Amino acid sequence: MFSKFMKAYFIVFLSLCILKNFGISPGIAADFEERSKTALITGANKGIGFELTKLMLGCGDTVYAVARHTKPLESLKTTYPDRLHIIKADLGTVEGQNAVAPAVTSMLNFVVHNAATMDPVGDGAMLDSSKTEALRSMLNVNGIAPIILTNMLGDKFMPLTRHLFVSSRAGDTMFKGIIPYCVTKHVLDAFVEGLRTDHPDILAATIHPGEVDTHMQSILRAPAESDFALAPVFVKTHTEGRLLAPLTAARFFKWVLCGASDDEFVSRKHNMYVDKSTYPHWVPEGVTIVNPYPDSGASDR
């Protein structure tokens, strides 16, 4: 009996010495284990989604990264072979939407519906029959896919799974020239309100990421002013360097996902420019958050 006790004591002592040698206290090691989570992120191959994927992996989390083009994610896979699961899926199609749920084999702590498209852009684009397929894809990716995935992934959710839907100011109003995009964000905001009404136990929220230097911004700068009256506004903002880096927005996302309390998470549409009280938690030193369009009719994101 004494021999067994000494053996157990020796194992504990040796474990403590190893942890101390690596500069890790038992409390921190236990906390790391407790904090390791699993997330599903759509649109994970670029922009905010890619940066958020890297942040989550860097913190020890597991990520199911959903994207149509997966090449940027392959380099991450070599660094995180066991914790990064790449799901190649075009959410603009029924086949792509149906491919996600079967590929998820773990329970999810976080689901981030980040994937979005901006095309078609232009005054009158909603009724332009030459843009029907682009419109169909946008409606699927931005509006329908988040609803379908929430439905199909139901058995992977836990009681406190956090569902974060990426919206924007376009979900609050209508901006001429990007009406189709605005419609999809209205759908997303309405769906989250519906979830809260029908399933008050579900932790669901929308987030306004701010004006971020992403591919979608380049689409907004491309048309001629005669086709899209707001194009010069986006060109000017980009030229003057007033767009946020995707990493800055990703830090905001991560704080909302991991730092906010449950009540705070569901309390509002999280807004990069309004939630100033949260800045100390995620804004790095030297970074200033300024809304470049405080009074204009320009979209966010």
Point out which residues pair with 204 in neighbouring strands. 163
* 14-29 pLDDT tens trace: 444 433 443 433 443 3
Q: What pLDDT was estimated at residue 288? A: 87
What does each C-alpha distance from 203 to 144, 159, 164, 281 come to in angstroms? 19, 8, 9, 21
Domains and CATH numbers, the chain: 36-282 (3.40.50.720)
Query: How far apart are alpha carbons 40 and 28 in whole angstroms?
Result: 25
**pLDDT tens per residue across all 301 residues of the chain:** 445 444 444 444 444 443 344 343 344 333 434 568 999 999 999 999 999 999 999 999 999 999 999 999 999 999 999 999 999 999 999 999 999 999 999 999 999 999 999 999 999 888 999 999 999 999 999 999 999 999 999 999 998 999 999 998 888 889 999 999 999 999 999 999 999 999 988 999 999 998 999 999 999 999 999 999 999 999 999 999 999 999 999 999 999 999 999 999 999 899 999 899 999 999 988 888 888 776 544 444 4
Collapsing DSSP to helix, strand or coil, 9 comes out as helix
Concatenating the DSSP letter of every residue in 151-217 gives: HHTGGGEEEEEEEEEE--GGGTS--TT-HHHHHHHHHHHHHHHHHHHH-TTSEEEEEE--SB-SHHH
* 85-121 pLDDT tens trace: 999 999 999 999 999 999 999 999 999 999 999 999 9
Q: Return left, alpha or beta for 167; rule: phi > 0 is left, psi -120 to 50 is alpha, else beta.
A: beta
Alpha helix positions (H), the chain? 2-21, 26-35, 47-58, 71-79, 94-103, 132-138, 145-152, 179-198, 215-221, 231-239, 246-258, 262-266, 279-282
